[in-house]
Amino acid sequence: MRVLITGGAGFIGSHTADRLIESGHQVRILDSLEQPVHTAGKPAHLNPAAEFVLGDVTCRDDWTSSLEGIDAVIHLAAYQDYLPDFSHFFRVNAVGTALLYEIIVEGNLPIRKVVVASSQAVYGEGKHRCPDGRIVYPAIRPEARLRAGLFEIPCPDGEGETTWELTDESGSNPENQYALSKHAQEQIAIRLGRRYEIPTVALRYSIVQGARQSFTNAYSGACRVFCLSLHFGRDPVIYEDGEQVRDFVNIHDVVDANLLVLEDARADYEIFNVGGGRPYTVNEFAHIAGDAFGLKIEPCPSGLYRFGDTRHICSDIKKLKALGWQPRRSATDSVAEYVAWLRSQDDLEDISAYAQRTMKEMDVVRAVRD
């Protein structure tokens, strides 16, 4: 198959390109080498067997020329950040995806499959249960509670606090500009795909971890931040009380999922969670990161929280498992891969202190008041 990977110079895209090439497919990459993800330009790990096209998914001509002779598209290019340039999220993530379908339909292009990267972020706080047994999908937590150091989610219209449950694909509750734009993107893809018989699959990835994650991508989470801190001899900053639950999935398991749905017609027009299948608390993850550096760390809450952060989220992965996929690597494997890669870098700068300062200046990171 001739496969176009948008965002193929990035973390998930470059690993997906490697595996496709290994399996005998031809790969073309369309990537704009965005800043600050690619501070050093075209990454050295790009597979030389992939054809590289410098271009933008918001540009009709770049899409049109990149789609020439292509059988399938893995659409990974996206704008991911916490910045308040709301319209840019929709321009890249939603309008860029609509353009893809517009061009396929206009040109009656023989595209056999489109795989679109969605995100666990579309769930917001995800599925929870109230003490009275009701299932709820809570809204963003009230700021006053966070400021008071009350991190658990109050039961909406009821007494007490909720407990989290695994979140399946049936719902969505996007709360921020990134999540809203990814939700719009997957809905555009699935619905236009179905309407125009362009087999399409949307994958809602949890937090993906492994080598090649940009050191400067503000959106790449705990693995980057904790490992960079430890590498430069600082303790990781723990937001809230560190007991929040996260769902980490290894990059190679994500690539397995991408390849499975690319080839398997049972996945067409469906949305799937791609998660690690096991919850980790942030404190637990800090220990895993510490162990990878041979350090026994005592995670200590910083007295800070991040505005808009999810309290607990872990995806239900039954649906994709039913097609024969399953996560085979642990968070410990992912951290080991990341640390090995980090140690192989020259001129690594300690940008985590800078990132922390920027988030404070932008009022994303806030302090609990006693």
> Which residues contact ligand NAD (rule: CB under 6 A)?
6-7, 9-13, 30-34, 37-38, 56-58, 76-80, 92, 117, 119, 182, 205, 207-208, 214, 217
CB of 357 to ligand NAD, least distance (A): 22
CB of 276 to ligand NAD, least distance (A): 11
Q: Report d(CA 45, CA 9) in Å as an integer.
A: 9
CB of 120 to ligand NAD, least distance (A): 6
Q: List the beta bridge partners of residue 275.
A: none
> What are the residue ranges of helices labelled H in 206-303?
222-231, 251-263, 282-292
Residue 48 vs 294, nearer CB to ligand NAD? 48
Residue 99 vs 130, nearer CB to ligand NAD? 99
Residue 130 vs 251, nearer CB to ligand NAD? 251
Residue 58 vs 173, nearer CB to ligand NAD? 58
Token pair of 128 as six digits: 């929870």
CB of 257 to ligand NAD, least distance (A): 11
CB of 141 to ligand NAD, least distance (A): 21
> DSSP E strands: which ranges in the chain?
2-6, 26-31, 51-54, 72-75, 113-119, 128-129, 135-136, 163-164, 200-205, 207-209, 245-250, 270-274, 279-281, 304-306, 365-367
CB of 219 to ligand NAD, least distance (A): 7
Q: What is the DSSP string of 24-80?
A: T-EEEEEE---TTTTTTSS-TTS-TTSEEEE--TT-HHHHHHHTTT-SEEEE-----
CB of 72 to ligand NAD, least distance (A): 16
Beta carbons of 30 and 62 less than 8 angstroms apart: yes
For β-strands 270-274 and 163-164, DSSP reports them as: unpaired
CB of 132 to ligand NAD, least distance (A): 33
Q: What angle do CA 64, 117, 102 make, to 5 degrees?
A: 30
Beta carbons of 252 and 99 less than 8 angstroms apart: no
Residue 43 vs 154, nearer CB to ligand NAD? 43
Q: What angle do CA 64, 69, 73 make, to 5 degrees?
A: 70
Residue 59 vs 136, nearer CB to ligand NAD? 59
Residue 37 vs 104, nearer CB to ligand NAD? 37
Closest CA to 54 of 79, 71, 29, 89: 29
| Local structure of residue 277 (DSSP, 8 states) | S
Residue 10 vs 199, nearer CB to ligand NAD? 10
